[in-house]
Amino acid sequence: MTLSALIFDVDGTLAETEEAHRHAFILAFSQVGLNWNWPPSLYRKLLKVSGGRERILAYDPDASPELVAALHRRKTEIYTDMVDSGRVTLRPGVEALIAEARAAGVRLAIASTTSRANVVALLGHRGAWFEVIACGEDTTRKKPDPQVYSLVLGKLGLPAADCLALEDSSNGVRAACAAGVAVVVSESMYTTGDDFSGALAVFPNFNGVSLERLRQLHP
């Protein structure tokens, strides 16, 4: 099959963002007077739930819609400030792989459940590299539901067989596979050792993973 497009997840795939998100959540909690502590062990469990608002509700199902919205809004502001200060960078190999794909005419897209503000903050001028950017606000169902991938495929005007997804989580793998998109994994700090059944390959990161290697893997 022709490999016409690479579809990237964001958090944990393009950048090791989840630890920054965790710290931003904790600071947002304290600023509104909540004594909620999300240590790494708990946050890894909460990451099984896609979407920041959804994680808050998974932690406290009784939280009001107003509280959830306020917490998520403040957390996003804190996170984007962290990104703007240079505390979050692209993971090893990502920028080189993207440059190689662009030079070869392979189209690029984003399929993420994170908010658009988070994606825009992380990418900055690099957002122009991606023809399609689908975020949490663009869907009603989060990964592992395939909705975000179906949306991206529709906007690209490509069949699933011509695309390859790059993910870091089991939810992401399940979403891509359910949409018929082949997927490779770059494990992140919070997903190492997870069940990536269905992925074509699992890498520690994309350092040294070339476009030609991805073409060889692509069915």
SS3 of 98, please? helix
Query: Roughly what angle, to the nearest 10 degrees, separates helices 170-178 and 147-156?
Result: 50
Q: How far apart are CA 206 and CA 50, in angstroms?
A: 23
Contact 163, 181 (CB under 8 A): yes
Contacts of 63 (CB under 8 A, 6+ apart): 56, 57, 71
Q: Which of 11, 145, 168, 194 is catalytic?
A: 11
Active site annotation includes 11: yes
Q: Which of 9, 145, 168, 194 is catalytic?
A: 9
Active site annotation includes 84: no
Q: Which residues are catalytic?
A: 9, 11
